[in-house]
Homo-oligomer: A and B are copies of this chain.
Amino acid sequence: MVRFAILGTGRIGAMHAGIVARQPDAAVTWCYDVDHDRAAACAAQVGGRASTDVDAILAADDVDAVLIASPTNTHVDLILKSAAAGKPILCEKPIDVDLAKVEACRAALADFDVPLQLGFNRRFDPSHRAVRDAVAAGEIGALELLVITSRDPGPPPPRAILEACGGLFRDTSIHDFDMARFVLGEEVTEVYAMAANRVDPVFAELGDVDTAMIVMRSASGALVHVNNSRRTNYGYDQRVEAFGADGMVRSNNHRPSEVSRHGDQATAARTPLLHFFIERYAAAYEAEIRDFIDMLAAGGRPSVTFDDGHRALLLSEAALQSYRENRPVTVAEI
C-alpha cells in the first residue's frame, strides 16, 4: 500500500487524489493546500487528513510518496522539500516556467536519490502511446515526418492563469514538445516557430500568442510539425501522426460516445470531441499514477524524468526565442 500526500488540491490535485484513492494498492493519507478548506474538501472525498503545513506532512510517518499538483511556481520548492524528506515524487508538469529555476533545481536534486516522475500525462494515453510503440517497434521504418495537432477548447483560461503560465510555448506547446521527444525517441535539435494573436486580445495584452505553427528537426533528421490554438469550438483536438517509409500511424481524436447521425444536411456526424484534458486524458491520468505506483513497487526508475521536463522546457524556450527573433533556433543555443 503506497500512502500518498497530495500537495495541492485544486482541480487537478483533486482529480489525481481521486485516482490514487481508487487504486487497490494506494491510499491518500494527507491532503495539503494553502487553502485549508480546499484540502479538507479533498480529504473528505478521498480519505486522509487535511493540512496547510507541508513540512509536517513530509515529516509524517504515513507518507510513502508525494503527488505535487500545486501552482507551477511552487513546484521547485515542493520538489526539493520532498526530495530532502526522501519521498518519491510524482510532479505535475511543468517543473517551472523559468529555465534558470529548473536548472538550479536539477543541480540541487543531485544531492538526493529519490525517484521523481514528471506528469507528462499524454505519454500514457493509449492512442498516443500506440503511435510511439509502433514507431519504436519499427513498424513504419525510420520516422521521417511527425505531425502533432494540439488545440485547446475555448474560451481561453482566466487572465490570472494566463499571466502565470509562461505563455503558449511553455504552457501548451510544452506537451507537444514532450510528445515529439517521446515518439521520436531522440532529441530535437532545431526549432522554428511562427505565431500569432488570432483568438483573443488578452493574449496580446500579456505579450503572449494564442496560435502557433512550429517546425523542428531531430538529431537524426526527422522533421516535426506542431500546430497549436488556444481555442476550438469542437472540443479538445489532440492528434499525433507519424510517417515513414513503411507507413503511417496516427492517433485520432476521442469522443464521449460512438454515435453518428445521418440527415438531409450531413451524414456520419459525430458528437463534439471530449471537452478538455480532464475528460480526454482520464485514462492517461489513471495509467500515469499506476505507472508511478508500479515503479515504486518494482524499484526501477521513473518512465518520465526530470530531464524530460527540462528538455521539453528547452524546446519551449527555443520556440519562444525563434518566434521573437523570427529565425530558426538551435536547442544548443538555449
Number of copies: 4
Q: How many interface residues does A have (CB within 8 Å)?
A: 76
Asked whether A233 lies within 8 Å of B247 as measured between CB atoms, the reply is yes
The answer to whether A225 touches B223 (Cβ under 8 A) is no
For A234, give its contact among B129, B216, B248, B256 (CB under 8 Å).
Answer: B248
- Asked if A198 CB lies within 8 Å of chain B CBs, one says yes
Q: How far is the CB of A319 from chain B (nearest CB, A)?
A: 12
A74 close to B (CB within 8 Å) = no
Can you list, as one digit per residue, whether each of A246-259 has a CB less than 8 Å from chain B (1) or not (0)?
11111111111111
Which residues of chain B are within 8 angstroms of A144 by Cβ–Cβ distance? 196, 198-199, 211, 229
Instruction: Indicate which residue in B129, B243, B246, B249 contacts A229 across the interface (CB closer than 8 Å).
Output: B243
Q: A192 at the A/B interface (Cβ < 8 Å)?
A: yes
Task: Report the bound CA distance from A190 to B195 in whole Å.
Answer: 12
Q: Is the CB of B264 within 8 A of A260?
A: no
Residue A194, interface by CB 8 Å = yes
Residues of B within 8 A of A223 (CB): 194-196, 211-213, 227
* Residue from B232, B252, B269 within 8 A of A259 (CB atoms): B252
Binding site for B on A (CB under 8 A): 22, 24, 45, 126-127, 129-131, 134, 139, 142, 144-145, 147, 149, 151, 190, 192, 194-196, 198-199, 211-217, 221-225, 227, 229, 231-235, 237, 243, 245-273, 326-328
